[in-house]
Amino acid sequence: MHIHNNISLKPFNTFAIDCQCQKLIEIDNNEDFEQLFLQEVFNDKFFILGGGSNVLFINDFEGTILHLKTKGIEIINKTDEDVYVRAAGGEIWDDFVDFCVKNGFYGVENLAGIPGLVGSCPVQNIGAYGAEVKDVIYQVEGFHLPDGKTFVLYNEECQFAYRDSIFKNGLKGQCLISHVVFKLSKNANYQLNYKQLADELEHSGKELSLPLIAETVVKIRNSKLPDITKIGCAGSFFKNPVISHAEFEQLSSKFKDIVHHPTAEGEKLAAGQLIELCGWKQRRIGDVSVYPNQALVIVNWGNAKGCEVLDYSRQIINSVKEKFGVTIEAEVRIVG
């Protein structure tokens, strides 16, 4: 374990917000967890940071930040159809995707290129291009912080939903996820219901393969989303809102061409479109704006403070509410 006192969090969050943290502890191995309990670190203010790709720090952090760096990917079981792979929480998500693509394990190729760590993927049930990680998570393992005991939660117990899980609700702030076990398919089983992905693959004229899918997904991502190594942001800042069918009927009678997808809970709208229609692609305030290719993403062009990003996001929420009567919510975790 490495301990840093009074350190800038800028390199630890993809929004590149320059704020201070009292203490940052890098956790390299599982024995560190026991040590941290003995030192009663979880009795005071703390925050568990994964890749820092889904957080917005709005103040200096007066407490301890725990940054996971544990590594390891192992195959723990195989059947004729499936393979069970256990990955450490500190593994980089995209390295795990690479491992699966190279080994011919199907199920995470549509999620290529997503920043962040394996340990964070169950928390907001990461999803993109027609796939969600909940469809391949077998179990989540970790430490229950209030009592220091280990836990195992099976997929059904994680209460996965769109960008949501028990780790954001009933168990919020109570779990340190040490490992995730994935159940992947050994047989070709492509998810091609995202239209742009299906179209690009068809136009390529190439035979479908795991590397081709992952490559094409990354190409589409790059055309819409900023390169987080160059531009500060945290991917989609907001969740796409879901409204009732009746509400949608009313809305679409006033606004033609509203993008929508029917889901079990109602009609899912494209928050990016609503934000764009409110004129935000033309509105930069200081170093904050939405990304020109994707209004769902808020960008820090240089020296924006976390509170300025928060303020900008609140103005977006208010204008979308005013114009469309629809409430959009932050998807990014706001940490004060």
- How many angstroms separate the CA atoms of 270 and 274, rounded? 7
Site for ligand EPU, rule CB under 6 A: 128-129, 194, 224-225, 235-236, 239-240, 259, 270, 272-273, 276, 294-296, 331
Sole residue written with tokens 């469309």: 324
Task: Provide, rounded to whole angstroms, the least separation between the CB of residue 189 and ligand EPU.
Answer: 18
Taking each helix axis from N to C terminus, what angle separates 210-224 and 195-204, rounded to the nearest 10 degrees?
120
Q: Which is nearer to ligand EPU, 36 or 131 (CB)?
A: 131
CA 322 to the chain's CA centroid: 28
Q: Which is nearer to ligand EPU, 92 or 270 (CB)?
A: 270
Q: Is 63 helix (H, G, I), strand (E, B) or coil?
A: strand
Report which of 45, 52, 53 is spatially closest to residue 67, judged by C-alpha positions. Answer: 52
Residue 284 is a catalytic residue: no
Residue 329 is a catalytic residue: no
- Catalytic residue of the set 163, 165, 215, 313: 163
Q: Which is nearer to ligand EPU, 90 or 235 (CB)?
A: 235
- Rounded to the nearest 10°, the torsion over CA 207, 211, 216, 222 is -170
- Catalytic residue of the set 53, 120, 178, 236: 236
Q: Strands 288-291 and 266-269, how do they pair? A: unpaired
Residue 185 is a catalytic residue: no
- How many angstroms separate the CA atoms of 223 and 29, rounded? 37
Task: Provide, rounded to whole angstroms, the least separation between the CB of residue 257 and ligand EPU.
Answer: 9
Q: Which is nearer to ligand EPU, 78 or 224 (CB)?
A: 224
Task: Provide, rounded to whole angstroms, the least separation between the CB of residue 129 and ligand EPU.
Answer: 5
Task: Provide, rounded to whole angstroms, the least separation between the CB of residue 291 and ligand EPU.
Answer: 8
- How many angstroms separate the CA atoms of 15 and 58, rounded? 11
- Which residues are designated catalytic? 163, 236, 331
